Amino acid sequence: MELNKPEQDLKRDLQGIASDLKWSAVELKRIAERLSQSGHEADAQAVLKMCTVFHSGENRLVGYAVEIAGRRIVRGKAEQA
């Protein structure tokens, strides 16, 4: 069964945002490397922590898009308990 238009739009948006997070993390890692090389290790570590958060968010969004494609969204009452 095909996805309806709102489902397709949601899936595409989630995938797009996940891609943006991935690209941002890559760029931030490059910035962290430059910070580290210039002696700003604490700042570099803070930026790398941001990358970890972005990567986690990317993975969640990709998972949500897969759920939509498979028509098996698993959040709901069980998760709220």
CA 76 to chain CA centroid, nearest Å: 21
Tens of pLDDT, residue by residue over 22-54, are 999 999 999 999 999 999 999 999 999 999 999
If one counts every other C-beta atom within 10 angstroms of the C-beta of residue 49, the result is 12
The dihedral through the CA atoms of 29, 35, 36, 41 has a sign that is negative
Whole-model pTM: value is: 0.78
Instruction: Provide the residue ranges of all domains of the chain, joining segments of one domain with +.
Output: 5-72
